[in-house]
Amino acid sequence: MQKRFWKGCATLILCLPMLILAGQQPAAAQEHNAPAPGWWPFSKPFKGLEMGQQGGLDDGRIGSGLKEALRIGTQNAVALTGKPNGYFDNPAIRILMPQQLQTLETTMRAVGYGPQMDAFMLSMNRAAERAAPAATQIFTDALSAMTFEDVRTILTGNDTAATDYFKAKTSNRLVAAFRPVVEQAMNEVGAVRQYKELVTLYQSIPFVKSATLDIDQHVVSKGLDGLFHVLGEEERKIRTDPTARVTDLLKEVFSR
């Protein structure tokens, strides 16, 4: 009898760890499947937003914060490019002679027409600076039309995902808006006349090839390239630099 008692105790002791593990299994499985701290429904959170989610911000608030960031970024980009010397004093976006006319530029400078070439390049940049403010309403419309799926794509994208979004959504409208402003500005500052004079002088040089180009389209194209370049820089700042978060909403969303 005593022998059976001790044998039963031994069996119970051997089985006890398995019973304990079996009792803990549901909790462990639940813990394993539970969302991790700072969980975000997208695969790669916009830098700063993950911490905001931990602070109790819902998806709507975070989406509003992102749109606020993009509104400020587009306003800054337009302000930086649409001012005197906004293009001309920025080497990254300064509009130069088109590649097709580089031979013309080199030749004209070699025969003493350097000042005229400089004046013509300044005229092209002045036209782009005049056109840049036309982007404000177009960017605003694109921002208003942004869907939750657009927000998610931007959140999970690279450092210029928002800039890429605006480029895809607004380029056609921007070309249509920039073209008449550039044409008018080029005429007012005498750029078209200067261009025609330069081409005429160039073609009067013996043994040179004819040079023709839609110079207005060149200014529009390079002007938009410069605008999106600056917009990309502004986007990177808001993503990474706390000092660029200049409103209460941005601080609330990105600083938590």
d(Cα 139, Cα 231) in Å, to the nearest integer?
A: 11
> Is residue 139 within 8 Å of 201, Cβ to Cβ?
no
pLDDT tens digits for range 136-173? 999 999 999 988 888 888 877 888 999 999 999 999 99
pLDDT tens digits for range 67-125? 888 898 999 999 999 999 999 999 999 999 888 788 888 988 998 989 988 988 999 99
d(Cα 244, Cα 241) in Å, to the nearest integer?
A: 6
pTM of this prediction exceeds 0.85: no
d(Cα 89, Cα 80) in Å, to the nearest integer?
A: 11
d(Cα 179, Cα 168) in Å, to the nearest integer?
A: 18
| Tokens standing for residue 204 | 């009067």
> Is residue 237 within 8 Å of 74, Cβ to Cβ?
no
3-state helix, strand, coil in the chain (%, to 5): 75, 0, 25
* Residue 12, pLDDT above cutoff 50: no
> Is residue 139 within 8 Å of 228, Cβ to Cβ?
no
**Distance, CA of 62 to chain centre:** 18
| Tokens standing for residue 95 | 């509009």
Q: How many CB atoms lie within 10 A of CB 21?
A: 10
Closest by Cα among 104, 91, 98 to 124: 98
Question: In sequence order, what are the residues at sequence separation of 6 or more whose Cβ sits closer than 8 angstroms to the Cβ of residue 249?
Answer: 64, 65, 68
pLDDT tens digits for range 218-230? 999 999 999 999 9
Count of residues for the chain? Answer: 256
Instruction: Indicate the Cα dihedral angle 132, 95, 89, 185, nearest 10°.
Output: -50
64 versus 17: which is more confidently predicted? Answer: 64
Question: Which whole-number Å values give the CA distances from 45 to 40, 149, 237, in the listed order?
Answer: 7, 14, 16
CA atoms within 13 A on the CB side of 87: 28
d(Cα 183, Cα 118) in Å, to the nearest integer?
A: 19
Residue type (1 letter), 89: D
3 state SS of 15: helix
> Is residue 211 within 8 Å of 83, Cβ to Cβ?
no
* Residue 237, pLDDT above cutoff 70: yes
